[in-house]
Amino acid sequence: KVNATVPDISTLLMQTTFRLEGPSKSKPGRTSVGTAFIMGKPIAAQPDRAAYVLVTAAHVLDDIQGSIAVLRVRRPDKDGGFEPFNWFIPLRSVDGKTLYTRHGEADVAAMFVVLPNDLNVTVVPTTMLADDKAIQNLEIHPGDELLCVGFPYGVSVNDAGFPVLRTGVVSSYPLVPAKKVKFIAFDFRVFGGNSGGPVYFRFSNRYYQGSTHLGNITQSIIGLVTEQVSDTATGTPISLARIVPAQFISETINMLGEYTGK
């Protein structure tokens, strides 16, 4: 739970969610496109600083051929707008070793990254990942509204390269424990390219634990998009996504250990 003076999570995630792409392994000659977002992991030795962590669906990184992925980032321009440009992210070492960390049971990957100094963005801290306990405490349930930002088919919402924001509702039950349920169903219009995008909530004056919390804004990431659900017989999409619970994102980030860069 956060105070209303904390920056709006939708704005923060709009600013720190980027298109990620590279040559496709599974479809030679084509480009593999997904969504990635940047979080801040507190640095133990320097409590006032955080390390940048790139988070996405593991299959997005796995399908990129070669050692480099392209992150389509944005910097402020002199006219008050934003200029998109390519930033290269190492995925594998020269000997082929994977540089990102995959969760052993869920489709999520994370890695420390270095970003341009002139992005001028504020990242969502990893403490704003809603684990099983948070979901239970807030009594999140089917029908609750969720939001998601991403790049459907690689499409940006404007020339500056910002992601598309979509809304929907929780459409599965139960939601916890993550280890048991494996995924949360999210009813929204999902397409290829949305994979890896953050799914989150922003509640105001929410009723839970027997009372209405007037004046409070509660906002956190609840998971990331992993796949589009389709009819098994015909393969027809049904506007339903499966999302990896944030519990698994937290576990993956913890697997990175302490940041040792500068």
The predicted-structure confidence for 109-159, as pLDDT tens digits, reads as follows: 999 999 998 888 889 999 999 999 999 999 999 999 999 999 999 999 999
Looking at every residue in the chain, the average pLDDT score rounds to 92
What is the arithmetic mean of pLDDT over 22-34? 94
**H or E stretch at 166:** strand 164-170
Q: Residue 200 in contact with residue 225, Cβ under 8 Å?
A: no
Task: Check whether 202 has a pLDDT greater than 50.
Answer: yes
Give every CB contact of residue 177 below 8 A, 6+ residues apart in sequence: 132, 247
How far is it, in rounded angstroms, from Cα 221 to Cα 16? 13
**pTM for the complete prediction?**
0.94
Least-confidence region, from 31-35, 165-169, 235-239:
235-239
| Placement of tokens 């082929």 in the chain | 96
Q: Which range, of 24-38, 67-81, 82-96, 231-245, averages the lowest pLDDT?
A: 231-245
pLDDT value at position 135? Answer: 97
Secondary structure class of 84 (helix, strand, coil): strand
Judge whether residue 1 has pLDDT over 50.
no
Q: Euclidean distance between the first and final Cα of the chain, in Å?
A: 31
Q: CA–CA distance from 116 to each of 18, 75, 76, 159, 160 (Å)? A: 13, 9, 12, 20, 17
Q: Check residue 47 and give its pLDDT.
A: 76
